[in-house]
Chains A and B, each alone.
Chain A
Amino acid sequence: MADASLFLTDLALGLLLGCVFAVIAHGLNLIWGVAKVVNVAHGEFIMLGAYGAYFLNLSFGFNPLVSVPIDAAIGLAVGVGFYFGFLHRELRGKESMGLQSEMVTLVATFGLALFMINAVQTIWTGNNVGIPWSPGVFAVGFLQLPLGGLYVAIVSVTIIGLTHVFLTRTYLGNAIRAYSQDIPATRLVGINPTFTAAVGTALGFGITMAGGALLTVWLPTGIYPAMGNLYAPISFVIVVLGGPGKMWGSLVGGLTLGVIIDVGQLFVGSLSLAYAIAFLVLIPVLLLRPEGILR
């Protein structure tokens, strides 16, 4: 019985954690789907979101959930800057991203990642910090689960749901989806490609930084400059699992990965091996179902 309850606890924790993973991957997924660019500095923007929540807590006493919309707003602004700084030159007037442009953005964002880690380390020191916020526990049957985790999971699913509504029910959302499918055709029907791509990228960054704020609830002392080195690969794996460009894919991939990490930890007996397994899941998925596990 003890084992079964341990297993169920880890499963539930994994699902709750998976919801947050889904949000941070969702931001990457949007940028990947819209601009056809992989932002290698993705983890560093998660880190920036987490630090945003930390400083809002330190200065104003906001809890991470209150910081989410503020972080998202900052993220939108950062996203616009990123689009015009990094992507516009490569995307402007082209029908699709060539291999050469792809390499340029990969290398440039890799440089950006290193810059951000070390700039943050210099400004805010490399110490681990965290937000002291824990609203208690709630019980489902015999399982004791953190209430903060539940709140965060609800907010996460709401964010993904709202993005879905935005992308399928509004004009701008449809324009973004059209852009991601066929750029010349988008231009033919009178959609401004630059504006659409900028909005899509900004939205992706907003969600990423909101995800960083949500993640802090799970990290009592885990905010540090290089945290992106862990969460960026997690996001990559989730997006590939769910299928790049598929919005519900992030949720499915996130839940899968959360469960793999938490339940895997129970079976292999160490967190590092669980992470290694979660990362290496990417390889068979890419080999066997490169379009993602969703149909």
Chain B
Amino acid sequence: MKLPAFRSPGPTLWGLGVFLIILAVSAPWIPVFLLTLFIGLLISATLAYSLNLITGLTGYVSFGHVVFMAFGGYALAFGVGTLKLPPVAGVGLAALVGLALALGIGAVTLRFRGVFFAIATLVVAVAALYIVLEITELGDGQGITLNVGFEPLSMFYTIWGILAIEIGLTFWITRGRIGYGIRSIKSDEDAANTLGINAARLKLFAYALSGLFAGAAGGVYAWNVSGAFPYDAFNLVFSLRMLAMIVIGGMGTLLGPLLGAIAVYIPSQIFLTVLIGFEYIIIGLVVVVIALFVPEGIVGTLRKYIPELRGILE
């Protein structure tokens, strides 16, 4: 009888775990303004890891990821505002809505490859905005304003838990059977199909998981800004920020999305107070430069030039 080989979680996961645990333990003593900053950072990181599942690992560029986030936000606003759920349950509802939406959209759009998938997701996101504008229950184009108390700590632990689960799942996926399947789809989908990998099912699995977490993050975002408003929630800038984060951090890696989230989110907060309006000009330029000249991102480039890091960074 052969025992399954024990696989060490690896230094990257240890590092991420220690980072998250330190954050969680020290949260009650973090001053409120810093705590809101961390909440924003964790939301960004959750979104980045969610896009990483489908774009980074599976190789399908999605421009319409904002749609899950927006509907997640609307789900929380509807659940808390109309159904009087507690906010945490609202986040759960948001995640379910994201999951259902991803299954529905993915079942159709994942049949397209490359450019066509990217365009189809973009068009679905734009069309969704125009549909939401007309729905009376969702605020008739005005959006929904929530009246919930400001509880940064419970918000923080909610998004912390979501991110921790997400990182764990990403690790589990990349290490296991599913990961091999997903990566073979990224390299060559036809070859993967020939080898007996059910590409359609695996893609839908990755996309559904991605939609689930994007929906949950959108729910927390709506909780944070106390409402869901169409032109804010469906702003394609969110799609770009998610893409920017994984491009800068390193697509398809375990550490990359977090690094990217820090690299995009923290400067954006500084620009908000110092150089108003220049934030997206600079993020846009950085994305162009990184996509053209260092397409591997921070993690990929470090691994390329410092071979010693290859065993450590994932």
Contacts A107-B247, A122-B281: A89 and B123 contacting too (C-beta < 8 A)?
no
**When the two chains form the complex, which single residue of A100, A108, A287 contacts B108, counting CB atoms closer than 8 Å?**
A287
CB distance from A222 to the nearest CB of B (A): 16
Residue A191 lies at the interface, judged by CB distance under 8 Å to chain B: no
- Which chain A residue lies CB-closest to B115? A38
B112 interface hit (Cβ, 8 Å): yes
Q: How far is the CA of A283 from the CA of B112 in the complex (A)?
A: 10
Known A104-B291, A106-B61; judge A111-B244 contact (CB<8 A).
Answer: yes
Q: Is the CB of A279 within 8 A of B244?
A: no
Decide yes or no whether B223 CB sits under 8 A from chain A. Answer: no
Q: Does B114 contact A (CB under 8 A)?
A: yes
Q: Are B280 and A117 in touch, CB under 8 angstroms?
A: yes
Residues of A within 8 A of B247 (CB): 107
Within 8 A of B (CB), among A144-187: none
Residue of A nearest to B116 (CB): A286
Q: Does A240 contact B (CB under 8 A)?
A: yes
**Least distance between B86 CB and chain A CB atoms (Å):** 33
Q: B80 to chain A: closest CB distance in Å?
A: 26
* 0/1 interface trace, chain B 281-294, chain A, CB 8 Å (1 if under): 10111111001100
Residues of B within 8 A of A111 (CB): 240, 244, 283-288, 291
Is B122's CB within 8 Å of the partner chain A? yes
B59 & A104 in contact (Cβ 8 Å cutoff):
no
Q: Are A107 and B243 in contact (CB under 8 A)?
A: yes
CB neighbours of A293 from chain B (8 A): none
- In contact, A110 and B240 (Cβ under 8 angstroms): yes
Q: Of B41-49, B129-137, B147-155, B204-212, which stretch is located at the interface?
A: B129-137
**In the assembled complex, B295 has its CB within 8 A of some CB on chain A:** yes
Q: A108's closest neighbor in chain B, by CB?
A: B291
The distance from the CB of A265 to the nearest CB of chain B, in whole angstroms, is 12
Counted as pairs of residues, one from A and one from B, with CB atoms less than 8 Å apart, the total is 126
Complex: A233 Cα to B118 Cα, angstroms: 11
Chain A residue nearest to B287 in the complex (CB): A111
Residue of B nearest to A90 (CB): B292
Residue A86 lies at the interface, judged by CB distance under 8 Å to chain B: yes
Task: Indicate whether A6 reaches chain B with its CB closer than 8 angstroms.
Answer: no
- Restricting to B41-94, which residues have a CB under 8 Å from any CB of A? 59, 61, 63
B127 touches A275 (CB 8 A): yes
B278 interfacial contact with A, CB 8 Å: yes
Q: Are A89 and B292 in contact (CB under 8 A)?
A: yes
Let me know if A114 and B127 touch, CB within 8 A.
no
* B300 nearest CB across to chain A (Å): 12
The binding surface of chain A is classed by DSSP as helix
Q: How far is the CA of A170 from the CA of B291 in the complex (A)?
A: 36
**Cα distance A250–B118 in the bound complex, in angstroms:** 20
Residues of A within 8 A of B9 (CB): none
Residues on the A chain within 8 Å of B134, using CB? 270, 272-273
Asked whether A279 and B127 contact (CB < 8 A) given A111-B288, A233-B122, A286-B112, the answer is yes
Alpha-carbon gap, A230 to B108, bound state (A):
23
Q: Distance (Å) between the CB of B131 and the closest chain A CB?
A: 5
A237 within 8 A of B: yes
Q: Does B280 lie within 8 Å of A118, measured CB to CB?
A: yes
With A273-B131, A280-B123 known as contacts, the answer to whether A114 contacts B108 (CB < 8 A) is no
- Give the CA-CA distance A116 to B283 in the complex, in Å: 11
Which A residue's beta carbon lies closest to that of B246? Answer: A107
Interface residue B262 (Cβ < 8 Å from any Cβ of A): no
Tell whether B126 is near chain A: CB-to-CB under 8 Å.
yes
A38–B288 CB distance below 8 A:
no
Asked whether any CB of chain B lies closer than 8 Å to the CB of A48, the reply is no
In the complex, what residues of A have CB within 8 A of residue B128's CB? 276
Cβ–Cβ < 8 Å partners of B130 in chain A: 272-273, 275-276, 279
Distance in Å from the Cβ of A40 to the closest Cβ of chain B?
Answer: 7
Q: A237-B123, A286-B112 are in contact. Are A107 and B277 (CB under 8 A)?
A: no
**B138 within 8 A of partner (CB):** no
Question: Is the CB of A65 closer than 8 A to any CB of chain B?
Answer: no
Q: How far is A178 from B192 in the complex, measured between Cα atoms in Å?
A: 33
Q: Which chain A positions have C-beta within 8 A of B133?
A: 272
Shortest distance from the beta carbon of A228 to any chain B beta carbon, whole Å? 10
Minimal beta-carbon separation of B229 from chain A (angstroms): 15
A106→B115 contact, CB < 8 A: yes
> CB distance B292 to A240 under 8 Å?
no
Chain A residues contacting B283 (CB-CB under 8 Å) are 111, 114
- Distance A290 CA – B116 CA, assembled complex (angstroms): 10
- Per-position contact with A for B162-188: 1 when CB-CB < 8 Å, else 0? 000000000000000000000000000
Contacts of B284 in A (CB 8 A): 111-116, 118
Do A280 and B124 form a contact, CB below 8 Å, given A104-B292, A273-B134? Answer: yes
Interface-centre pick from A100, A103, A112, A116 (highest chain B CB count, 10 A)? A103
**Is B13 close to A, CB under 8 A?**
no
Pair A282/B119 contact, Cβ less than 8 Å: yes
Q: Determine whether A66 belongs to the interface, using a CB cutoff of 8 Å to chain B.
A: no
Q: Are B123 and A236 in contact (CB under 8 A)?
A: yes
Q: How far is the CA of A111 from the CA of B240 in the complex (A)?
A: 7
What residues of chain B lie closer than 8 Å to A282, measured between beta carbons?
Answer: 119-120, 123
Asked if B236 is at the interface of the complex by the 8 Å CB criterion, the answer is: yes
Q: Which residues of B contact A106 (CB under 8 A)?
A: 61, 63, 115, 118
Q: Does B115 lie within 8 Å of A233, measured CB to CB?
A: no
Counting CB contacts under 8 A, is A119 at the interface? yes
Having A107-B287, A287-B111, one finds 5 other A-B pairs with CB under 8 Å, namely A40-B118, A106-B115, A229-B236, A237-B123, A276-B127
Q: What are 10 A-to-B residue pairs whose CB atoms are below 8 Å?
A: A106-B115, A108-B288, A108-B292, A114-B240, A115-B285, A118-B279, A118-B284, A121-B277, A272-B134, A273-B131
